[in-house]
Structure 1
Amino acid sequence: DILKVADEKARRDRLDIRFQQGWAQDLPFEEAQLDGVFSTLLFHHLPLKEKQQTLSEIYRVLAPGGFISILDFDRPSNGWMRLAFLSVQLLDGFETTGDHAKGILPQLLAEAGCDPVVQTGRFNTVAGTLHAYHAQKPVFHQ
């Protein structure tokens, strides 16, 4: 249903966007096919192994020079934000969110092969600190 809503909004705004349903660990795209991938508030829901599988799969489908932009909870910016993030951890589980309290996303992006990995923003919310990351698949492999 959400894809139908998104498609209707894109058509209304005359945007050339194709929405496709799939699993993050098994994307329905050929290797090196996409120029960019956006992820918002997904990774803190996944166990560590699935985070790694998802980033590996995204890396697979990105064309050389392609990018991934992520907005998600990561290392709290201060003690108050750490306390606020406990509400997310209680709702979503400590197994999936524990690594985010330590700031795991840049490391996982680098381990997947992305270079550079840049933090482009940090936002304090009532539920904790959101971080924006932009990472790129290198044009040339070493």
Structure 2
Amino acid sequence: MGKSNNGESAQLRIDDPHLFKSREELVSRVARWRDLYPWLKGWRLTEASHAWDNSVLLFYSIAKSNVDEFSEQRLVAGDNGFAANLRAEKFVPFETIPLAGGISKNAPYSNPTAEWGDSIGAFFAVLWRVFT
């Protein structure tokens, strides 16, 4: 995970072993990750590409807008995947985004076992990627 120099935005990267083959398949993969980790609903997909035999999914702390996150207008197809034009996006300060339903600077830690069940290992793997 990275933060911008101005501290107003943050980027989260997920390396997914499933290689998407279309926009529709990408939508399905992102939905799967958001089902596993509902706090990802607070992040907007900004780029999806293939690297190292994985789908590399990049999310930014961006406010929701009226434009569909996966529309051709917002997420433009390229040679190696999709990318969003971020110039018109409004970033959300990282500190205000709830992670795991309660992990943040201003909120108590929630019980991930109750929320995630058998996917607890994946939960901590994603948190490790977020905070390192």
TM-score normalised by the chain length of structure 2: 0.28
Query: Which structure's residues are more often helix, by fraction?
Result: 1
TM-score normalised by the chain length of structure 1: 0.26
